[in-house]
Amino acid sequence: MTPTPHARDLVDRTVLVTGANAGIGYWCAELLAARGARVILGCRSAERAARAERSIREQVEGADVGILSLDLGSLASTAAAAARVDEPLHGVICNAGVKAADRGERTADGHDLMIGTNALGHFALLAQLLPSLTPDARVVAVGSIAHRFARIAPETLDDPWTGASLRQYGRSKAALMALTFELDRRWRGTARSALCAHPGYAVDPLTPARDSLAPVRPLTRLLAAPTRVMVQGKDAGAAPIVHASTSPDATGGDYWGPGGPLEFRGAPRRVRASDEVRSRSTGAALWAAAERLAGVRFAV
């Protein structure tokens, strides 16, 4: 059983976690469930989602878990998923992400795979979830250290890219973060808030075993053990995200990450986001570009 880090302080709160069948998203869901929250696993594979649900129930006695079929690489799927939500959501954690892709890889709608899934997919989902969000809802987007090395350039967001996949990944994360900070600005004066958080450098071999997660061979775990001084497991990587999602100490527009060296590992603390993802003009231009590309009106 997951040790309960706090009392069951999230009873009566419902949080949707995208990409909750694996890695950091799984751990966000398990940690929230351990604190009494109802968690909804937003996943594209029914089988992987069911395995994650089973695992959370095994770890957390009395866990309240639901599943929402959701493929962020398909605008039809995000629209259908949002329409199926029939309960108030107190939180959404935009965690699902494609971390590497080839240049030609596209979403179902023909968008670049990483921009389309990581940024546009979550933007469309949130736009269409608006009626389900409670008046005090909190949205947390999972960013990355890689956002600091990327230029967003809203007018060419979906253009074919050159250079390294990692740079395009950083751009997709920077776009998601800039949209999230823009959402928070648009929600100012209401009780809703939007924040970003990142998991540092979080790897599977340092992560506690769970039946639902990718198995890690004992030798791989053993060899990875010394890297714990630099990096961390995905359970620890989930901590800044859960903190941003639940702590009274975290407020709209914050960016949380691990507090250790290079922000790779450690306990959650507020960290610095790039000037570009915080820029009002970039946020406004990106919002308009995202509405156009995703074909949704996000009216806030």
Ligand X SMILES: NC(=O)c1ccc[n+]([C@@H]2O[C@H](COP(=O)([O-])OP(=O)(O)OC[C@H]3O[C@@H](n4cnc5c(N)ncnc54)[C@H](OP(=O)(O)O)[C@@H]3O)[C@@H](O)[C@H]2O)c1
Bridge partners of residue 15, in order along the sequence: 39, 91
Residue 133 CB, nearest distance to ligand X (Å)? 20
Residue 244 CB, nearest distance to ligand X (Å)? 13
As given in the structure block, the two tokens for residue 111 are: 């968008």
Q: Which residues contact 225 (CB under 8 A, 6 or more apart)?
A: 206
Most distant pair of Cα atoms in the chain: their distance: 53
Cβ nearer to ligand X, comparing 203 with 300: 203
> What phi-psi label fits residue 279: left (phi over 0), alpha (psi between -120 and 50 degrees) or beta?
beta
Cβ nearer to ligand X, comparing 48 with 186: 48
Residue 15 and residue 93 in contact, taking contact as beta carbons nearer than 8 Å: yes
Cβ nearer to ligand X, comparing 33 with 72: 72
C-alpha–C-alpha distance, residues 174 and 145, integer Å: 9
Cβ nearer to ligand X, comparing 157 with 202: 202
Residue 278 and residue 105 in contact, taking contact as beta carbons nearer than 8 Å: no
Cα dihedral sign for 138, 44, 106, 233? positive
Q: Which residues bind to ligand X, rule: CB under 6 A?
A: 19, 21-25, 44-45, 48, 70-73, 95-99, 117, 142, 144, 198-199, 201-202, 234, 237
As given in the structure block, the two tokens for residue 288 are: 């308009």
Residue 67 CB, nearest distance to ligand X (Å)? 12
Residue 121 CB, nearest distance to ligand X (Å)? 6
Active site residues: 169
Residue 117 is given by DSSP the state I
